Amino acid sequence: LMLISSAPAQCTAEEFLWGTATSAYQIEGAWDVDGKGMSIWDEFVRRNGTTIKDNSTADIACRSYEKYKEDVQLLKQLGVNSYRFSISWPRVLPNGTLAGGINEKGIQYYVNLVDELLANGIQPLATLYHWDLPLTLQNEFQGWESEQIIPHFVDYAKLMFERLGDKVKWWLTFNEPWVFTVLGYGLGAHAPGTKDLVNTVYIVSHNLLRAHAKAYRLYEKDFKPRQQGKVGITLNGAYVLPKNTSSELDKKAAQRSMEFSFSWYSDPVYFGDYPEEMKTRIGNKSAAAGLPKSRLPEFTAEEKAELKGSSDFFGLNYYTSSLAEHKILSNDGGYYDDQDIVSTMDPSWPGSGSPWLKVTPFGIREGIKWLSARYDNPPLVVTENGVSDNDGTTSDQHRIDFYREYIGNVTQAKNEFKCNVVGYFAWSLMDNFEWAEGYTEYFGIVAVDFNDPERPRTLKDSAKWYRDFIAAEMTTQAPATTPKAGSIV
């Protein structure tokens, strides 16, 4: 007999989410169509001296703004039960603010996409912010550098919950805050191209965390009772190993490295505050540099309470591992020096089409275990995982090998180590604009011909493999009446 009789009535088993992911700026094109406002990426790719590798833009990209029905048919061919996409904030609010006016045509695009998905039996998972900030908000007050952005983000989130929330049950506030903070405002490699690792990165992260908490609480209070959806945030990071495995200092450095990437965001979201290691190390370095207070801002008691527990599931974008070596660095260099870590890669790890991405399948298993242990086994969705090459070939055996190995390790984390993994999304549905790398690194399981104005799509071998793999997985899933390890209450 199964011991399920005490399960509350609302405890229904949910299907494991098998999906693919994309983001608005990377695929939509139509950058100035139907009333869309400019985003910081539309400006960044046009800026003189900006280093987009091939000098390209995503003005046209995959033309998904026009071709969304074709995209949904691709998803249908793949047999996925879910699709992760992002909403372009300036497409729905061209000036970034409610006061600046709602672009109904922009909203209609997302309503159409969601309707098309649902009509084909595919669950939408929507990301509110995948880096394409309305340019007006950057110009007016430097975007995430100012707390003035918080109410505007909450207005935008509210509008989307109102217009799409009866159909979208999975929401992400932010995609990879680490990336848009460090690459966008710290290193200047991404929009808006600001370069300040010393102070700005910490302020930007502080503001986005406060905005996340407010959007989460708004949904919880005003929408969740009726809409019954889930809101989370998606974080990226590497599973970090000690460079010298017998060095206690390197072992601590490896932990610290993950605290400076994942936990910078997930400790506030799950515990209500930054990791102790960040507070003491940045505090000490600030004092040593003669500053009156820490460069790491502090949350108020109210903000801590609002943040603590502000996520219904852990969104994880996972690609690669790295090595950490303990080394005391400067007091005034900012984010990287604050960690007292030299970060490297093991030369024996196989490469990919991206210098930062080494094929390290064990890392996704160990990363999920590390996060599950630290945050008390939250429901976890792998919201991105994938690999690049530089030619976009459809004979992509290397990608099949990658997915087989990485998914195998995700399965191990779930089944053997009892981590509460409830979904997996391959990055990406199709080749697209890879940010500062333009169209020189391809992550798609579907190829897009960027030389053809029609942007025709072709399934790669990996797409066929993924289709067959998930079909087999779905048929071996327990029947819907039996609660599974991966079900969310």
- Position with the least CB separation from ligand GBH: 356
From CA 288, how far away is CA 11, in angstroms rounded? 53
Phi, psi of 77 (to 5 degrees): -60, -35
Q: How many CB atoms lie within 10 A of CB 340?
A: 22
Taking a C-beta distance cutoff of 8 angstroms, is the pair 136, 96 a contact?
yes
Catalytic residue among 303, 384, 434, 441: 384
Residue holding tokens 């604050």?
Answer: 338
Angle, nearest 10°, between helix axes 397-415 and 361-374? Answer: 30
Distance of CA 90 to the CA centre of its chain: 19
Taking a C-beta distance cutoff of 8 angstroms, is the pair 94, 35 a contact?
yes
Among candidate residues 311, 148, 130, 301, the one with its CA nearest the CA of residue 217: 311
CA–CA distance from 49 to each of 38, 46, 58, 189, 467 (Å)? 19, 9, 17, 11, 42
Look at the alpha carbons of 183, 390, 46, 27 in this order and tell me if their dihedral is positive or negative.
negative
From CA 42, how far away is CA 23, in angstroms rounded? 14
Active site (annotated) includes residue 384: yes
* 19 three-class SS: strand
Instruction: Burial-class residue 454 by CB neighbours within 10 Å (0-12, 13-18, 19+).
Output: exposed
Taking a C-beta distance cutoff of 8 angstroms, is the pair 20, 84 a contact?
yes
Which is closer to ligand GBH, CB of 42 or CB of 434? 434
Taking a C-beta distance cutoff of 8 angstroms, is the pair 121, 178 a contact?
no
Taking a C-beta distance cutoff of 8 angstroms, is the pair 122, 64 a contact?
no
From CA 8, how far away is CA 270, in angstroms rounded? 25
CA–CA distance from 410 to each of 355, 364, 381 (Å)? 23, 7, 10
Instruction: Burial-class residue 484 by CB neighbours within 10 Å (0-12, 13-18, 19+).
Output: middle
Taking a C-beta distance cutoff of 8 angstroms, is the pair 347, 359 a contact?
no
Chain residues that interact with ligand GBH, rule: CB under 6 A = 23, 26, 175-176, 179, 183, 189, 236, 317, 319, 356, 384, 427, 434, 443
* 297 three-class SS: coil
Among candidate residues 210, 225, 251, 290, the one with its CA nearest the CA of residue 10: 225
Among candidate residues 132, 204, 216, the one with its CA nearest the CA of residue 171: 216
From CA 124, how far away is CA 230, in angstroms rounded? 12
- Residue 356 CB, shortest distance to ligand GBH, in Å, is 4
From CA 282, how far away is CA 251, in angstroms rounded? 20
From CA 311, how far away is CA 319, in angstroms rounded? 22
Taking a C-beta distance cutoff of 8 angstroms, is the pair 476, 484 a contact?
no
| Residues annotated as part of the active site | 384
